[in-house]
Amino acid sequence: MSEKVLITGASRGIGREIAVSFAKRGDELILTCNKNIDMLRDLGESLSSEYGVKCRTYSCDVSDHEKVKELFLQAGDIDILVNNAGIAWMGLLTDMDIDDWRRVIDTNLGGLFNTCKYAVPVMVRNRKGSIINISSVWGSVGASCEVAYSASKGGVNSFTRALAKELAPSRVRVNAIACGVIDTDMNRDHLDSDELNALEDEIPAGRMGKASEVADLVLRICDGPEYLTGQVITLDGGWI
């Protein structure tokens, strides 16, 4: 049976691969991004044409509560929410200004509050639903020069576990995927080739993860048992 899936940050990278995976199985899609709206629209048209699915695209900054509220007024009921939108900032904490700090926290963590605020009542009413938050291994162990990002993803992990306990009686599941180094534009934007090669040497699997592997795990969680909730599942090639 087709489900209705909302994916944030879907224009590229992990979010794009997640959208493709759900389209392949015939689900209705609602895709958002903040900046690359033309890229997102092209993706939506491509998925509709290739897989015959209904696909709506929206420009939405998940850190903006009013914009998220408007998004859900247009989207209506959803069955699955994938919180993928996120940003990074690298550098010394002392070099970070307050606006950069707020932007990272408000997007990576505040965005979860905004989307869940409006997705949860629908799911509770229907007594079904799955929320999957894309997190990071840095949320578990922290990363030098990525204090804000690490703090935001640590918040995502705790948010996931707490909300899962809140919603379990209503048969709504909440889980997270803590990604290691995934081969995405965001990582390539922040790390040069030498840094990426050095990282790969540290990973027991000998390579970066693929965005398609994250997407595959998202689907497996969605199709998993109802008893699977409140988990932060690490996907890092044995790295951390």
Burial group, residue 142, by CB count within 10 angstroms (0-12, 13-18, 19+): middle
Q: What is the largest CA-CA distance in the chain?
A: 51
Rounded Cα gap, residues 77 and 116, in angstroms: 12
**Are residues 123 and 166 in contact, defined by beta-carbon separation less than 8 angstroms?**
no
Half-sphere exposure of 177 (CA within 13 A, CB side): 27
Rounded Cα–Cα distance for residues 230 and 161 (Å): 4
Joined together, the tokens standing for residue 232 give 């932060």
Give, for 93, the enclosing helix (H) or strand (E): none
Q: Which of 187, 174, 172 is nearest to 236 (CA)?
A: 187
Which residues pair with residue 177 across a beta bridge? 134, 233
Q: Per DSSP, which regions of 180-239 are E strands? A: 232-235
Q: Which residues are catalytic?
A: 149
Residues in the chain: 240
Q: Which of 149, 150, 176, 187 is nearest to 235 (CA)?
A: 176
DSSP-assigned letter for residue 210: P
